[in-house]
Amino acid sequence: MKSRSWKMLGGVAVATSLLLMSAACGTTGGGTPTGGASHEGKYKIATIPKIDGITWFDDMKRGVNQFNTDFGSEVEAWQIGPDSEDAAKQVQIIEDLIAQNVDAIVVVPNDPLALEPVLTKARQQGIVVISHEGPALAETEAVDYDLEAFSNDAFGELMGRKLVEGMGKDSGTFVGEVGSLTSETHMAWYNAAVKWLAENYPNIKPVQAQPYEDANDDAKARSNAIEILKKYPKLDGMISCSVSAGSNMAQVLKEKKIKTVTLSQLTLPSVGGPYIEEGWIYSGQAWEPAGAGYAGNMLALRILKGEKIDSTVDLKWNNYTASTVDGKIVIGDAILQFQKGEDPFDSWDGKWPF
pLDDT digits (tens, 9 = 90+) for 177-226: 999 999 999 999 999 999 999 999 999 999 999 999 999 999 999 999 99
* Higher-scoring residue by pLDDT: 229, 17: 229
Average pLDDT over residues 223-234: 98
Q: What average pLDDT does the structure give for the chain?
A: 88
The set of residues, in sequence order, having a beta carbon less than 8 Å from that of 123 and lying 6+ positions away, is: 23, 25, 26, 35, 129, 141, 142, 143, 144
Domain 152-286: which CATH class?
Answer: alpha beta
Among the ranges given (108-112, 234-238, 267-271), the one the predictor scored with the smallest mean pLDDT: 267-271
Rg (CA), the chain: 20
pLDDT cut 90: percent of the chain above it: 81
Q: What is the pLDDT of residue 28?
A: 33
Query: What is the reported pLDDT for 247?
Result: 97
Q: Are 159 and 193 in contact (CB under 8 A)?
A: yes
Q: Is residue 297 over pLDDT 60?
A: yes
Q: Is the pLDDT of residue 17 over 90?
A: no
Rounded mean pLDDT, 78-85: 96
Instruction: Give burial (CB, 10 Å; 0-12/13-18/19+) of 164.
Output: buried
- Residue 260: helix, strand or coil by DSSP? coil
What backbone torsions phi and psi does residue 344 show, to the nearest 5 degrees? -90, 0
Q: Angle at CA 208, nearest 5°, toward 15 and 273?
A: 70
How far apart, in whole angstroms, are the C-alpha atoms of residue 58 and residue 296?
15
The pairs formed by 68-74 with CB atoms below 8 angstroms and a separation of 24 or more are 70/316, 71/301, 73/42, 74/42, 74/43, 74/301
At 349, the pLDDT band (50, 70, 90 cuts) reads low
* Beta bridge partners of residue 213, listed in sequence order: 178
Same fold for the pair 8-150+288-332 and 152-286: yes
How far is Cα 143 from Cα 323, in angstroms, rounded to an integer?
18
Span 56-69, mean pLDDT?
97
Q: Which amino acid is at 47?
A: T
Q: What pLDDT, on a 0 to 100 scale, did the predictor assign at position 164?
A: 98
> What is the CATH number assigned to the segment(s) 8-150+288-332?
3.40.50.2300
Q: Report, as an integer, the average pLDDT of 268-295.
A: 94
Q: What is the pLDDT of residue 269?
A: 87
pTM for the whole structure: 0.82
- Give me the DSSP letters along 293-336: HHHHHHHHHHHHTT---STT---SSTT-TT-EEETTEEE---EE
Residue boundaries of the structural domains of the chain: 8-150+288-332, 152-286
Burial of 232 (0-12, 13-18, 19+ CB in 10 A): middle
